[in-house]
Amino acid sequence: SEALEDFRGWHSCVTSILENAPQLHRWGLFDRAPLTGWTNQRVALLGDAAHPMLPFMAQGAAMAVEDAWQLAASLNTYPDSPAEALQCYAASRRQRCSKAQRQSSRNARIFHRKNAMSQTLQYLPLWIGGKLAPSLLARQFDWLYSYDITNNNA
């Protein structure tokens, strides 16, 4: 099968799972550049409708929850002007969501390097950095994991 061909050379535990699976399905992953507009005067997009992400940061659902919080906060701040509330929502979310979207796309390329040399060149510095200064590596994602949408002012 195509899956066995894709995983040729992997550990026998992996190939055994594939050999014994009753059915295998290809699942497409599609990338899209960040949108420039999420709203009009009466409608707002949020979550995957506004910023679909590849799953390589596992942040799609988190971004949708943050979107919902910000949308509610913006509507609360501008109760008499829905259009202004929607603009506020989109303006406050666009940069963060676009950054997460781009990082997910970047991770897809990093995680799926085809040849061993490319993988080694990518992962060796990360491995060394993780051994010598693990907190330094973790800090690169503070923008993502330390963010508190409830303290973001609409």
- Give the single-character DSSP code of 49: G
Same domain flag for 26 and 52: no
Do residue 19 and residue 95 come from a single domain?
Answer: no
Within 13 Å, how many C-alpha atoms sit on residue 115's CB side?
A: 3
Assess whether 43 and 26 both reside in one domain: no
Residues 16 and 37 grouped into a single domain: no
pLDDT class of 13 with cuts at 50, 70, 90 = very high
- Do residues 109 and 147 share a domain? yes
Q: Tell me the C-alpha distance between 91 and 29, whole Å.
A: 27
CB-based contacts of 56, cutoff 8 Å, min separation 6: 104, 105, 107, 108, 111
Contact 147, 96 (CB under 8 A): yes
**pTM of the complete model:** 0.82
- Mark whether 24 and 58 lie in a shared domain: no
Q: What is the pLDDT of residues 66-125, one digit of tens each?
A: 999 999 999 999 999 999 999 999 999 999 999 999 999 999 998 888 888 888 888 888
49 and 66 fall within a common domain = yes
Question: What's the domain range around 119?
Answer: 31-151
Residues 71 and 21 in one domain: no
In eight-state DSSP terms, residue 150 is G
What is the per-residue pLDDT across 143-154, written as a single tens digit (0 to 9) for each?
999 999 999 755
Together in a domain, 76 and 121: yes
Distances (CA, A) of 94 to 15, 30, 37, 142, 145: 42, 20, 9, 18, 17
Tell whether the model's pLDDT for residue 135 goes beyond 70: yes
**Domain shared by 86 and 26, yes or no:** no
Whether residues 108 and 43 share a domain: the answer is yes
User: Both 13 and 40 in a single domain?
Assistant: no
Instruction: Quote the CA–CA distance of 56 and 106 in Å, as a whole number.
Output: 9
Give the count of alpha carbons within 13 A of 30, CB side only.
5
- The rounded distance, in Å, linking the Cα atoms of 62 and 60 is 6
Which helix (H) or strand (E) is 138 found in, with range? helix 134-139
Total structural domains within the chain: 2
